[in-house]
Chain A
C-alpha cells in the first residue's frame, strides 16, 4: 500500500538525491586527504579518472533502488549488506585482474545512504497520503452529520499523535454505525413482525375465499421477511463469548423432529446416520438449531414427494461434519457462489424458498461465527448436498461451563416449577 503511493516522479526525486550524494562523496574523498584509496599489494595499477569514478559510483549506488519497492524494510537492509559485499569484491577483482582501481569509500557510503534516503522519502509520501485519506474519511463522516465535536485537536499536538487520534475516532464512528444499523434493523423487523403476526391470526376468523388466501399469502411473506431480517441480525450480533458447550447430535435430532410434519406431508423419509456418542461443539444453541433447521427446510422444499433426505454427522480429530443430502434437482453451478449471500434469490429456478432470501445467508453467518464453514455441492447430478463443518469442543472433561473462564457463569433457572 505504502509502496503504491510512490509515484514515478517520487522515484526520480530519490534517484536524483542519491546521485547528488554520490558526487559529493566522491569529490570529498578523492580531492581531500586520501585514506582508503591505497591499493593493496604492490602491483602497479591505473586509477580511474575522477569523472568515471563519479559516474560509476552513481550508477552502482542507484541499482538497489530498483528492488527497493518490492521488498520490506528488513529485507532492504539485508539486501544492502549483501550488495555492498558484492560491490567490494567486484572492485578488488577489477584491481587484480584488470589492473584498474576505483576508490570504493565513496561508493560504499553512497549505497549506505540510499536506504535512509529512500525511507525518508517514502515516509513523507505515506504521511501525506495518510493525512489525505483521514481527511476524506472525516469529511465523509461530517457529511453524515457525525462529526465529533467533543474532541477538538489541541494546539501544538504532535502530528503523529493527531493521526492516531483521528484513526481511533474514525474506528469509533464505524463501530457506532455498525451497532446503530443492527439496532435499527432489529427494532424495525421486530416492530413490524408483531402486528403482522396478529393480523395473520385474525385472518383465521375470516371467511375462506380467494381474497383471504391472497391476503394470507402476502402477510405470511412480509412476516417471513421481517423474521428473516431479525434472525440474520441476531446471528451477526451474537457474542462468541457467550457460547456454550452443546451436543450437535441432540441438536440435529431435534431439528429433524421439528420438520416432521412437513416430511409427513410430502411423504419424505429421513435417514439419520449419527454417532452413538454425543458430539460436543461450543456455540449458541438457538442460532445453530435454526441454521440446521434452515438447511433441512431447504432440502425439504426441494425434495420431490416420497424421496429420501440423508442427514449424517461424522467427525475427525478436530472437526464435525454435518451433511444434508436431498434428491431434488440440485443447485445450478452458477448459483452456488451466490447461495449464502444476502438476498440470494437469484431467480425462480433455485432459490432459498423460505421466501425471505435470508435463510441460507443466516446459515452462512451463523456457521462462520462458530469458526466453521458451509458448502454446497451436487451429488451425482441428482440432489444437493450441504455440508456444515464446525470445530469440535476440545476440552474432553465434563466440567461445567460455569467453571470455564472463557464463559461467564450461566444463571440457573428459578426452580419454582
Chain B
C-alpha cells in the first residue's frame, strides 16, 4: 500500500512518515504541491494525506488539479490545523473523505487511514447475515439482534444502522446519508437524520459500554467507530 504525504513541516512530516512506515505502508513525501502534481500521473497511490496550507498552493487546489488529470481519486485525508467547524466543513466540501486535526495522534491517523483503505478494498457482500461486533444483522428478515435479543427497528432505522456498520470508522456526511437511506435530496428535513441517529444510539446501545462510539461531526456528518473497550 502506497500513501502520498503532502506536508511542508519537515518535523511533522518525518513523524507521520515514521508512523505510517511502522504500520507497514510505503510513503512518498512531498514538500510542495507542484512536486506532487507532477509526480502523480506516473505513480499509483492508494491514499493521499494533504496538509491544508502548503508553501506554493492550498491543499484543496492540489486536489482540484488532480481531478483534472485523473477521473478517480484515491481516498483523501486532510490535515487541518484547526478544529473549528467552519474549516472542517470546508475541507469536506472540497471533496476530502476525512480530516485529522493537528497535532494528530498516531492512533487516530492510523484509524482513519485504515478505515478508508478498508472501504476502498471491500467487495459488496451478498451474505444475508452480517455480524458487527456483538450485533447481528439479518438482511432478509431485516432484523437486528444482540445476544439473542431482537431490536425493533423501523425500515429506515435498519437501513441506516446497516449503512453505519458497513462504513465503520468512516465519516458519513448528513446529506450523503439522506441520499443513501432516504433517497431524498439532501436539503430537506435535516433534523430527520439527527432524530434517527439518536434513536439508533438508544435502541442498539451504540455507547462505549458496548464498544461503540457514535459521533456527530458538527451535525454535518456522523462517524460510527468500534472503540477499544469490549
Residues of A whose CB lies within 8 Å of any CB of B are 190, 194, 197-198, 200-202, 205, 234, 244-247, 249-251, 253-254, 257, 260, 264, 276, 278, 280, 284-286, 398-402, 409-417
Contacts and interface: CB of A to CB of B under 8 A. Distances in A.
Contact of A253 (B170, B171, B198): B198
Interface in B190-211: 190-192, 194-195, 197-198, 201-202, 207-208
Given A254-B215, A413-B175, A202 B187 contact: no
B107 to A, nearest CB: 12
Given A278-B194, A413-B176, A201 B208 contact: no
B2 interface: no
A202 B82 contact: no
B149 interface: no
Contact of B219 (A205, A246, A398, A417): A246
Nearest to B179: A415
Nearest to A269: B209
Nearest to B191: A398
B95 A416 contact: yes
B5 interface: no
Contacts of A413: 89, 92-93, 173-176, 186, 220-221
B186 A412 contact: yes
Contact of A190 (B81, B85, B176, B179): B81
Interface residues of B, number: 54
Contact of B216 (A190, A285, A412): A285
Q: Which 10 A-B pairs have the closest CB atoms?
A: A197-B103, A413-B173, A260-B208, A412-B175, A286-B85, A250-B198, A412-B186, A414-B95, A285-B218, A400-B190
A413 B176 CA distance: 8
Given A247-B194, A253-B198, A398-B192, A417 B173 contact: yes
Contacts of B194: 246-247, 250, 278
25 contacts: A194-B102, A197-B102, A200-B103, A201-B103, A246-B219, A247-B194, A247-B195, A257-B207, A257-B208, A260-B208, A264-B229, A276-B202, A278-B191, A285-B219, A286-B84, A286-B85, A398-B191, A400-B190, A401-B190, A412-B173, A412-B175, A413-B186, A413-B221, A417-B171, A417-B173
Contacts of B83: 286
Contact of A402 (B95, B190, B201): B190
Given A414-B95, A416-B95, A257 B213 contact: yes
A264 B175 CA distance: 35
Given A247-B198, A411-B93, A194 B218 contact: no
B15 interface: yes
Given A198-B11, A414-B92, A402 B187 contact: yes
